[in-house]
Amino acid sequence: MRIIKLSAIDSTNSFLRQLSSTEALTDYTVVVADSQTNGRGQMGTTWSSHPSKNLMASVFLDVSFLDTENSFFISMATSLAISNAVKTFQIKNIKIKWPNDILADQKKISGILIENVIKNNQIQGTIIGFGLNINQIVFDNLPNATSMHMVTGKTYDLDEVLQSIINYLKQYMNMLRNSKFHDLKTLYESELFRKNKPSTFEDAKGLRFSGYIKGVSNSGYLQILLEDNITKEFDLKEVKLLY
């Protein structure tokens, strides 16, 4: 594993993507930054973090063995890797909020941004970016954010946490390499936040509706059982879980 440590960067994902265009990267090339000036999240959101308090990293992997329609399994593997790594540090009540936010006691502790490198309609590589709140204790204007330290009162070694995440990531990516899609999806769905619980959602038009999260499709669509006993699939832009 090659680790590149930076004091400050606009985005670890952007840095790693640029690096991949200039040299052939080996699997588990990792970029870690003490601070990001333009950290990015899902749907164009930003990721804010105090310098040297949290883990902000990006990992390169060759995933040319995966068909494009199975690309969401990268997100499943990453979500499981982070959630299981966090659990080893005695952080409890961990859930995955679809598609790949990690929650501790229903508050966000980690976010993931996956950017695939596609050539000729085939995935060549993937850049897995993630932020994990570790030792930060104040989150301005983010009432639903938490950190490992806030949960346990302990101070953690960032390198140790990173190593744990990478070890779990290797485990779940090996499942992908061995085409254990069903097993991976079963594990992911077992961790889904509010699965099989009555929940309220908002669609792209701002209309609210009730339903039950039943799981996800192989392509990552959220499967919701609606009031008329019909299960409908939604992509990321089509639905938001409110509570």
CA distance 75 to 98: 10
Kindly report the CA angle at 101 between 141 and 78, in degrees rounded to 5? 140
CATH number of 2-190: 3.30.930.10
Residue 37 pLDDT: 73
Residue 220 pLDDT: 96
From the first residue on, what is the mean pLDDT of each consecutive set of 10 residues in the chain (243 residues)?
92 94 95 78 56 92 95 98 97 96 97 93 95 94 93 97 98 97 98 98 96 97 95 96 92
Query: Domain 198-241 maps to which CATH number in 3.40.50.460, 2.40.50.100, 2.60.120.1270, 2.30.30.100?
Result: 2.30.30.100
Instruction: Tell me the two tokens of residue 92.
Output: 């409890």
Instruction: Tell me the two tokens of residue 38.
Output: 């333009």
Instruction: Tell me the two tokens of residue 159.
Output: 């390198």
**Which residue spans of the chain are classified as CATH 2.30.30.100?**
198-241
For residue 49, the 8-state DSSP code is: -
Residue 40 pLDDT: 52
- Backbone torsions φ then ψ of 46, nearest 5 degrees: -110, 155
Global pTM value: 0.92
* Cis peptide upstream of residue 99 (ω within 30 degrees of 0): yes
179, 240, 185, 170: which is closest to 215 by C-alpha?
185
% of the chain surpassing 90 pLDDT: 85
